[in-house]
């Protein structure tokens, strides 16, 4: 049961990529899917090993606490150091930025495992920190990492498929359906209800969280642990998990957008944050910001004058469709416009914050207490 309890972030957000959720639902799903891997790996490893008998209950719990605490500390520290370094150092080639991000992530994982702590948790937190930081060439870095993720998932599923035997799978169908139904209709809703009580999450949000507990590759990978350690019924556990994930992904994934719309948790008109792409300009000691006005942004209808960018930052070009022009202070912005903003060294972060603030609250952002952070 512990093996299949965790949800899979890739499975959930591959379905919800084009379905923006209202409020904090997306953040809850992402946090749950990302943070449950590390403790589940530790628990499954402890259960199938003899660590319980060697160190006792409190010793095992202490080891888990140490591994999780050190993983959190190193993951956050590596992410913070990576952000500070990459936002201040101008690399000679744009393609080095995604490689540098991967280097910080791998250093986080290997450094944590050398200390016998949770590398899974460390690398997740490092990636989460760097992925949400406004680093130079952010889009290129995200595209590079997503391509690597696709390659890794393809290779992982091929290897997992080689472990599954078609001759053994029919015997696992009935147990998988019974366990999966219990998880979907009983265990998952009860766990969501118990976890969300202190936070006063609306019932319709709880209903969606209950249905959105997609299982992906993570439970199958965890099921390989008892298989690799030759535990009793290890093959049967792997087969049940394999069938469960396959069947219930086919049931839940196609219906997830429909359930989201029926429950009213889709944010069709939510104000989207301004996406700012940064490219350092080495020769003139400045940064070039590329800003696209998204749908429902307060930048739509604002004038360039309303941006009130800090001294040292200026909107140099505005692209609208096939037309590119040098704007004046009275040029009015519209959805779909792309702005090229040149910011001198030292004012880039302030210019980014101001653009995000106006995008969220309009020209009077400061009056509404919006700082753009």
Domain boundaries, the chain: 9-263, 275-368
pLDDT for 9: 63
Judge contact between 171 and 228, C-beta under 8 A: no
Distance separating alpha carbons of residues 59 and 6, to the nearest angstrom = 24
- According to the model, what pLDDT value does residue 126 have? 93
In the sheet that holds 313-320, the strands lie side by side as: 275-281, 286-292, 338-344, 313-320, 323-325
Cα–Cα dist 206/209, whole Å: 5
What's the token pair of residue 166?
């078609």
Q: How far apart are CA 126 and CA 144, in angstroms?
A: 16
Tens digit of each residue's pLDDT, the chain (373 residues): 555 556 666 666 666 666 677 667 777 777 777 677 667 776 766 666 666 666 666 777 787 888 889 999 999 999 999 999 988 887 777 788 889 999 999 999 999 999 988 888 898 899 889 988 878 887 778 888 888 888 887 887 788 788 888 888 888 899 889 988 888 888 888 888 888 888 888 888 888 888 887 777 777 777 787 777 777 777 888 888 888 888 888 888 788 888 888 888 876 655 566 667 777 766 667 888 888 888 888 888 888 888 888 888 888 888 888 888 888 888 888 888 888 888 887 788 888 888 888 888 888 777 766 766 7
The predicted pLDDT at position 107 comes to 94
Given a contact cutoff of 8 angstroms between Cβ atoms, the answer to whether 42 and 258 are in contact is: no
CB 215 within 8 A of CB 7: yes
Q: How far apart are CA 345 and CA 111, in angstroms?
A: 33
* Res 278: pLDDT: 73
Yes or no: domain 275-368 corresponds to CATH 3.30.70.1450: yes
Q: Reduce the secondary structure of 80-115 to three states and give it as a string.
A: HHHHHHHHHCCCCCCCHHHHHHHHHHHHHHHHHHHC
- In this prediction the pTM is 0.68
Token duo for residue 280: 């350092």
* Integer Cα distance of 233 and 53 in angstroms: 20
Instruction: Find residue 281's DSSP bridge partners.
Output: 286
DSSP string for 199-260: GT--HHHHHHHHHT----HHHHHHHHHHHHTT-TTHHHHHHHHHHHHHHHHHHHHHHHHHHH
DSSP count for the chain of H helices, then E strands: 14, 5
pLDDT for the residue 4: 58
Q: Give the pLDDT confidence score for residue 105 in this predicted structure.
A: 92
**pLDDT confidence of residue 108:** 94
Q: What is the pLDDT of residue 56?
A: 67
Give me the CATH topology for the region 9-263: Na+/H+ antiporter like fold (1.20.1530)
| pLDDT given at position 102 | 92
Is 176 within 8 Å of 220 (Cβ atoms)?
A: no
* Residue count of the chain: 373
- Residue 170 class from Cβ within 10 Å (0-12 exposed, 13-18 middle, 19+ buried)? exposed
Cα 7 from Cα 126, distance rounded (Å): 20
């Amino acid at each position: 049961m512990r093996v299949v309890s965790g949800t899979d972030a890739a499975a959930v957000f591959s379905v919800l990529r084009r379905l923006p959720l209202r409020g904090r639902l997306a953040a809850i799903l992402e946090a749950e899917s990302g943070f449950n891997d590390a403790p589940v790996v530790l628990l499954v490893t402890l259960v199938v090993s003899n660590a319980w008998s060697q160190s006792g209950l409190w010793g095992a719990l202490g080891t888990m606490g140490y591994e999780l605490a050190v993983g959190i500390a190193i993951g956050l520290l590596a992410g913070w150091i990576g952000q500070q370094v990459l936002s201040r150092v101008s690399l000679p080639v744009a393609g080095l930025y995604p490689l540098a991000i991967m280097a910080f992530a791998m250093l986080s994982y290997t450094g944590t495992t050398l200390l016998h702590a949770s590398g899974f948790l460390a690398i997740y937190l490092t990636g989460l920190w760097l992925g949400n930081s406004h680093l130079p060439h952010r889009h290129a870095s995200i595209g590079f990492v997503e391509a690597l993720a696709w390659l890794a998932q393809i290779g992982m599923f091929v290897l997992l498929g080689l472990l599954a035997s078609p001759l053994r799978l029919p015997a696992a169908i009935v147990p998988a359906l019974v366990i999966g139904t219990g998880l979907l209709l009983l265990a998952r809703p009860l766990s969501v209800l118990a976890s969300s009580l202190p936070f006063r999450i609306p019932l319709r949000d709880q209903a969606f969280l209950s249905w959105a507990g997609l299982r992906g590759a993570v439970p199958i990978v965890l099921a390989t642990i008892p298989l690799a350690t030759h535990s009793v019924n290890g093959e049967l556990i792997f087969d049940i998990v394999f069938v469960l994930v396959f069947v219930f992904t086919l049931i839940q994934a196609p219906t997830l957008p429909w359930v989201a719309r029926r429950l009213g948790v889709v944010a069709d008109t939510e104000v989207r944050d301004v996406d700012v792409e940064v490219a350092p300009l080495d020769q003139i000691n400045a940064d070039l910001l590329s800003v696209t006005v998204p749908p429902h942004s307060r930048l739509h209808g604002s004038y360039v004058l309303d941006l009130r960018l800090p001294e040292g930052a200026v909107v140099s070009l505005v692209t609208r469709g096939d037309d590119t022009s040098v704007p004046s202070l009275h040029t009015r912005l519209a959805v779909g416009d792309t702005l090229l903003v040149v910011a001198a060294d030292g004012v880039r972060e302030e210019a980014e914050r101001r653009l995000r603030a106006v995008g969220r609250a309009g020209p009077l952002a400061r009056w509404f207490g919006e700082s753009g952070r």
